[in-house]
């Protein structure tokens, strides 16, 4: 990573764009401390649209890490940039980030409003990725209130679109959440079949958060299907993966990462995240 940045600087390439792309990769892998560092650098070195892009993505990272005040601060700065530049192209991402902050804070009605506004911008065959991701959250919120048909419709649309876009992490999220719905309706074999399509980390890496959630719901499906031994082993693996994220973040965050952020939501209740202070 450092070598790539050094080469970009030597060749007078767009370092800010590279920082953002590297940050997006670390964000997808749930490496929130490094993602925050990369987006912070991008926001400081970039100008115009690049700086705005970095600030919105930094807000998403702080929200996931639990520092809601920092997330809100970055969104305020990004909104000022958008108003000044008159650029509406950031609307899907900005609305997604605003929804995520509300969601992580436990303000679910507000979160739904923001996600619906972002998702509504998916109007053709070439949507902004943020609008597609917003529909994942709408599926989760629908599931939490028992509207599982609507949840499945949203997640199935995301699955199809994410596959077309080649967005592996987003596709995996949709598969995991559809499998969760299958577990809840006791369709355990359907859940296991869906999760078999989530690749293990190898040539393509999803990272510990998605792998942990996939493994958790596999354990629930196996347990429901009567395979208690494998279910227990999978659950232990899931806990190890998700605890690893928490341990990684302790090197940066003064207090422990909010457990809700990397919980696997084993019930239909949605935990309220408590903000942590960041150095």
Q: Give per-residue pLDDT as tens, 111-143.
A: 999 999 999 999 999 999 999 999 999 999 999
CA distance 140 to 261: 14
And the tokens for 114?
Answer: 């923001």
Q: Which residues contact 122 (CB under 8 A, 6 or more apart)?
A: 128, 131, 132, 135, 161
Report pLDDT for 274. 37
Report pLDDT for 120. 98
Give me the numbers of helices (H) and strands (E) for the chain, helices first please: 13, 0
What pLDDT digit, counting tens, does each position of 87-105 carry? 779 999 999 999 999 999 9
CA distance 180 to 218: 9
Greater model confidence, 1 or 139: 139
Report pLDDT for 271. 31
Q: How confident is the model at residue 255 (pLDDT cuts 50, 70, 90)?
A: very low
pLDDT exceeds 80 at position 37:
yes
Q: Which percentage of the chain shows pLDDT scores above 90?
A: 73
Describe the crossing of helices 208-224 and 168-184 by its angle, rounded to 10 degrees.
20
CA distance 273 to 253: 15
10 phi and psi, to 5 degrees?
A: -60, -35
CA quadruple 274, 253, 255, 69: dihedral positive or negative?
A: negative
DSSP character at residue 278: B
Q: How many CB atoms within 10 Å of residue 51?
A: 20
Greater model confidence, 277 or 137: 137
Report pLDDT for 2. 59
Report pLDDT for 73. 97
Greater model confidence, 103 or 252: 103
**Predicted structure pTM score:** 0.86
CA distance 242 to 264: 9
Report pLDDT for 250. 64
CA distance 278 to 35: 14
pLDDT exceeds 80 at position 1:
no
Report pLDDT for 276. 36
pLDDT exceeds 90 at position 247:
no
Q: Which residues contact 138 (CB under 8 A, 6 or more apart)?
A: 112, 115, 116, 119, 154
Describe the crossing of helices 32-45 and 15-28 by its angle, rounded to 10 degrees.
160
Beta bridge partners of 278: 253
CA distance 194 to 215: 12
pLDDT exceeds 90 at position 148:
yes
What pLDDT digit, counting tens, does each position of 167-196 carry? 999 999 999 999 999 999 999 999 999 999
pLDDT exceeds 60 at position 258:
no
Report pLDDT for 202. 67
DSSP 70-126: HHHHHHHHHHHHHHHHT-GGGHHHHHHHHHHHHHHTT-HHHHHHHHHHHHTT--SSS
Beta bridge partners of 119: none
Averaged pLDDT score across all residues of the chain: 86
Report in angstroms the alpha-carbon separations of 184 from 160, 167, 260.
22, 26, 20
């Amino acid at each position: 990573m450092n070598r790539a940045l050094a080469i970009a600087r030597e060749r007078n390439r767009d370092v800010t764009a590279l920082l953002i792309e590297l940050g997006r990769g670390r964000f997808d892998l749930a490496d929130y401390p490094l993602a925050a560092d990369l987006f912070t650098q991008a926001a400081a070195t970039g100008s115009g649209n690049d700086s705005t892009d970095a600030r919105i993505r930094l807000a998403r990272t702080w929200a996931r890490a639990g520092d809601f005040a920092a997330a809100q601060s970055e969104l305020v700065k990004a909104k000022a940039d958008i108003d000044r530049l008159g650029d509406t192209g950031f609307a899907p991402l900005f609305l997604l980030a605003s929804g995520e902050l509300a969601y992580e804070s436990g303000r679910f009605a507000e979160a739904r409003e923001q996600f619906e506004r972002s998702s509504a911008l998916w109007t053709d065959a070439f949507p902004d990725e943020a609008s597609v991701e917003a529909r994942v959250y709408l599926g989760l919120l629908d599931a939490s209130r028992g509207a599982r048909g609507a949840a499945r419709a949203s997640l199935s649309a995301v699955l199809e679109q994410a596959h077309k876009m080649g967005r592996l992490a987003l596709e995996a999220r949709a598969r995991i959440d559809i499998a969760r719905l299958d577990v809840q309706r006791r369709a355990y074999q359907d859940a296991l079949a869906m999760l078999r399509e989530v690749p293990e980390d190898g040539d393509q890496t999803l990272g510990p958060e998605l792998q942990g959630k996939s493994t958790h719901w596999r354990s629930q499906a196996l347990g429901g299907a009567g395979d208690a031994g494998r279910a227990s082993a999978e659950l232990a693996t899931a806990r190890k993966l998700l605890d690893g994220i928490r341990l990684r973040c302790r090197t940066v965050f003064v207090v422990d990462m909010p457990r809700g952020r990397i919980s696997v939501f084993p019930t239909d209740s949605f935990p309220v995240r408590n903000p942590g202070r960041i150095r």
